[in-house]
Chain A
């Protein structure tokens, strides 16, 4: 199975700052990589699919890039509601797998 590694584990930033989150795959995930946001006590929310496409209703400050084994989620200017845990997930190889998450905290 493809193992996803996310870095950093925790990102400490302030509102208005830029956040750059990394997801690295042990083998090629092509562009079948999605990003989710999860807040405490809530289900994950789809942000990005196919590595760079924003899901419906996702603000433009969220962007994704990458292909193969290296992917990035960028939040251009953090809003207070963006402080959460972010997971990447690959669909290129079965079984689909999730990364361990990056916590974005104030």
Chain B
């Protein structure tokens, strides 16, 4: 049973960089059937796709984040990462990592999410 678990600081200061890790267990992060995604949800609001990475390192990002996001992967650790630079209060959200199954064109497995607050 594949599981995803997010980790990282719960508080980030404005203008700094947010960094999160997603650890994949119970399955291979190098399985070519999947992309590995980050999605966020501001408090009381809807979902926003941030981007995803393939095991080879190819990445795709939501242009609404205007180049502030970067996703990387370490297959030896079964982890992928999100960095979001120049954060503001608008980046306060629950951040989810999720498995994107290409065959389904949908996110079939999600982490539990981690709350990140941007505040001084």
Assembly CA distance A87 to B71 (angstroms): 25
Interface residues on B, range: 10 to 19
Q: Is the CB of B104 within 8 A of A97?
A: no
Please give the distance in Å from A12's CB to the nearest CB on chain B: 19
The SS class assigned to the A binding surface is: loop
Please give the distance in Å from A96's CB to the nearest CB on chain B: 5
Q: Is the CB of A44 within 8 A of B110?
A: yes
Q: Is the CB of A46 within 8 A of B46?
A: no
How does the 8 Å CB contact mask read for A40-63 relative to B, with 1 for contact and 0 for none? Answer: 001111100110010100000000
Residue of A whose beta carbon sits closest to that of B62: A95
Chain A residues with CB under 8 Å of B47's CB are 36, 44, 87, 89, 98
Please give the distance in Å from B95's CB to the nearest CB on chain A: 11
Please give the distance in Å from A98's CB to the nearest CB on chain B: 4
Chain B residues with CB under 8 Å of A87's CB are 46-47
Chain A residues with CB under 8 Å of B96's CB are 43-44
With most chain A CB atoms within 10 A of its CB, the pick from B60, B106, B111 is B106
Chain B residues with CB under 8 Å of A45's CB are 110
Q: Is the CB of B46 within 8 A of A99?
A: yes
Residue of B whose beta carbon sits closest to that of A48: B106
Q: Identify 13 residue pairs between A and B in the complex whose beta-carbon atoms are under 8 Å apart, listed by A's number.
A: A34-B106, A34-B107, A43-B113, A44-B47, A44-B107, A49-B105, A50-B105, A55-B106, A55-B108, A91-B105, A91-B106, A95-B49, A100-B46
Residues of chain A touching chain B, judged by Cβ–Cβ distance below 8 Å, are: 32, 34, 36, 42-46, 49-50, 53, 55, 87, 89, 91, 94-101
A42-B112, A45-B110 known; 10 new pairs, CB 8 Å cut-off, are A36-B107, A43-B113, A49-B105, A50-B104, A53-B104, A89-B106, A89-B107, A97-B49, A98-B49, A101-B46
